[in-house]
A and B are shown apart, each in its own frame.
Chain A
Amino acid sequence: MAFVPGLGHLVLGRTTRGAHLLTVAWAGAGVLAWRSERVFAAFASRAIDEWIASLFLLGSLLFVVVYSRWDVGRLLTGGDEPSVVGKGPWQVASRRFRANTLAVASAYMIVILYVVAVLTPLLAPYDPAAIDNVLQTRYLAPSGAHLFGTDEFGRDLFTRALYGARVSLSIGLLAMLLSKSIGTTYGAVAAYFGGAVDAVLMRMVDVVIAFPTFYLMLMLVGVFEANIVLIVLILGLTSWPGTARYIRGEILSLKEQGFSEAARAIGLPPRLIIIRHLIPSALSPVLVSAALSVAGMIGAEAGLSFLGLGIRPPTPSWGNMVSAGQDAMLVAWWVAFFPGALLALTLVSFSLLADGIRDALDPKVLMRRFV
């Protein structure tokens, strides 16, 4: 019993945790059984994405097995008595979040999208770039063999949508992380040190805001070859000023509060005061904007790629797939439809997630709304 992850939890009445562990275990084992050849072949190949996919799969399986044994042991020895105290602000928020069905559903959707994106090399039924016998294979309608149909070169669109998801989703996440970490650090430093430092740093923010980002992108894409790294850098490095301004404002007010004076009085250096005391208190709204910003970044990348300025074919991204499909809209609607639908699904999921986070963090929102 203890060897099947999650089963122990189900028996002990921890159904939610049990169901999660069981699902991950079955799904992981299923992929392993179905694609065992590819999983092990990956370690012989030189492609880093195949390594990551296989390691991620095996790692998750190992994790659920080890974790569920450890956790069941802990539960059996009674080490899980719910504590009355220590329910911090984040735990309260997380409980409110979990009561919001729509937000939880979108969080699952996003997790599934990202997991599938990581596992793409294992899951994809075809080679995303393989072309053979174009005349017979082009523009095949969706069917059992080609779930999303094929494009003008006879490439399987389901496979390409998976690879495209990898590109789009990772650009969204990385650009968001870059933008938010620059913005947070920058704003916090400006506000904490104040005075001349603040004045100089914030004037630089004004310059970045005033800069016509779109033309910067056009120029950079014209000069350098557009690849994922360049797109992430462009999107990340131009979108942080909003976060910087917001964090600066928050920290200006937080640093006048008692606990921040108390932190100075115990001799904490500025670096630790900023990291340990100020940023954590200012961070919750950044979390909301981070979720929205992933959607924004994915949308921006899709926009660039649609215009032919982003990811270049034959590397698939959702944006350039929609772009390729628009010419064939009347003869083969599926070429543009599926990547477009995935794009819409992702963006909606992130907005709902952001909504959910905001409602969970805002004590003024009544829980009644979620019923």
Chain B
Amino acid sequence: MLIDVQNLRSHFFLDEGVLKAVDDVSFSIEEKETVALVGESGCGKTIVALSFLDLIPSPGRVVGGRILLEGEDLRAMSATQMRRVRGRQIGLIFQEPGAALNPVQTVGGQVADVLKLHRALTRHEARAEAVKLLGDVGIADPERWAGAYPFELSGGMQQRALIATAIAGRPKLLIADEPTTALDPTVQAEILDLLRHLQDEHDMALLLITHDIGVVAEMADRMMVMYTGKILETGDVRSLFKDARHPYTQGLLGSVPQLGAGRDDPLRGIPGAVPDFLELPRGCTFHPRCDLAEDVCLSSFPPIRGIAPNRSCACHMVA
């Protein structure tokens, strides 16, 4: 087991009250495995990733649980130890590559920074290695583009450059937070290919955070569905797609447009909207949007239980 998250809770302490962005989340990731964390915008996916690296912006922080990386608790680490995890054990790719690259530094220089920091290369070696890495992530003529500034690159190239900075420290776990959301479909496919290729080559595990079911189907071994800071259903992608048990997962999968579907098979959505985190419904937070809801759903949030081999689900209505 590469990473083992136990009862993680990350809260934001706002003037209006406590916002439980991540509330009692447990999961694990094996080495070289690809796990997708799926959910609508604002369900706490990104905060899970930021919890790993202690990067949650104020007034938020991790308030409970354990995050074990190869048996070592990340939460017990000092700031100095944590800096050795960031970039070296866990690499993070951000959603918007244009914002995550420093506008006044060359792309090659930013990759070289990571190399100097985590692999103790000299300036000269780091520069050569940065060019090589930019080539590895699929930038043609890397020698030339290493000297370019981020604004001179296209969106796809920026994402490639950002991936280069994330893998430069040779992390064992790469977290990709919506890596293709800001890109157009052809570039999306290229970036996903690249991620898969790099994962094989460097033996990395990949935690893919996305709201795009198509990306999950293409990339992931396992998936976890998240809603209002909790995980509702987990399982291997194949069986979960075939046989989703949780009403929310069924709704998510049902709302993906199918090419070739006729008029008589209209796109189904999930009624209602994601509730306000500060005024969550009592009991199961999904019950106001759920067709199956009964009295028990109003009384308590269902615990997540194993329902089949490698499958678990948090629903009172699923036996």
Q: Which A residues are within 8 Å of any B CB, using their own CB?
A: 83, 85-90, 256-259, 261-269, 272, 276-277, 280-281
Contacts and interface: CB of A to CB of B under 8 A. Distances in A.
Given A265-B53, A266-B117, A266-B165, A259 B103 contact: yes
B55 A265 contact: yes
Contact of B145 (A85, A88, A257, A268): A85
A267 B90 CA distance: 10
5 contacts: A263-B102, A265-B94, A266-B165, A267-B87, A276-B105
B85 interface: yes
A87 B104 CA distance: 10
A88 B106 contact: yes
Contacts of A257: 99
B211 interface: no
Given A88-B149, A259-B103, A268 B169 contact: no
A277 B53 CA distance: 20
B96 A258 contact: yes
B83 interface: yes
B100 interface: yes
Contact of A265 (B87, B117, B118, B149): B87
Contacts of B88: 267
B102 A267 contact: no
B100 A262 contact: yes
B147 interface: yes
B193 interface: no
Given A86-B106, A268-B117, A262 B101 contact: yes
A85 B147 contact: yes
Contacts of B103: 89, 259, 281
Given A262-B100, A262-B101, A267 B169 contact: yes
Contacts of B144: 83, 85
B130 interface: no
Interface of B: 53, 55, 57, 82-88, 91-92, 94, 96, 98-106, 113-114, 117-118, 144-145, 147-149, 152, 162, 165-166, 168-169
Main SS class of interface, A = helix
Nearest to A90: B104
A262 B94 CA distance: 7
Contacts of B105: 276-277, 280
A263 B101 CA distance: 9
Given A86-B148, A281-B104, A265 B113 contact: no
Given A258-B96, A266-B118, A277-B102, 7 more contacts: A86-B147, A86-B152, A262-B101, A265-B87, A267-B85, A268-B117, A277-B105
A90 B103 CA distance: 11
Contacts of A85: 144-145, 147-149, 152
B102 A259 contact: yes
A256 B169 CA distance: 24
B85 A88 contact: no
6 nearest A-B pairs in the assembled complex, by CB-CB distance: A258-B99, A267-B86, A266-B87, A86-B147, A85-B148, A267-B87
Contacts of B149: 85-89
A333 to B, nearest CB: 51
Contacts of B55: 261, 264-265
A281 B106 contact: no
B100 A261 contact: yes
Nearest to A92: B149
Contacts of A86: 106, 147-149, 152
B122 to A, nearest CB: 16
Contact of B166 (A83, A266, A277): A266
A260 to B, nearest CB: 8
A367 to B, nearest CB: 19
B72 to A, nearest CB: 16
A268 B113 contact: yes
A290 to B, nearest CB: 18
A147 to B, nearest CB: 47
Nearest to B89: A267
Contacts of A83: 144, 147
A88 B110 CA distance: 14
A276 B96 contact: no
A98 B162 CA distance: 34
A277 to B, nearest CB: 5
Contacts of A264: 53, 55, 86
A269 B104 contact: no
Contacts of B162: 262
Contacts of A265: 53, 55, 86-87, 92, 94
Contacts of B118: 266-267
A259 B99 contact: yes
A277 B83 CA distance: 17
Nearest to B85: A267
A136 to B, nearest CB: 63
A257 B106 CA distance: 18
Nearest to A86: B147
A88 B149 CA distance: 6
Contacts of B165: 262, 266
B3 to A, nearest CB: 16
A266 B152 contact: no
A262 B110 CA distance: 11
A266 B86 contact: yes
Q: Select the residue from A85, A86, A265 with max chain B CB neighbours within 10 A.
A: A265
Contacts of B91: 266
B100 A258 contact: yes
A208 to B, nearest CB: 28
Contacts of B86: 264-267
A276 B113 contact: yes
A29 B100 CA distance: 52
B146 to A, nearest CB: 9
A349 to B, nearest CB: 28
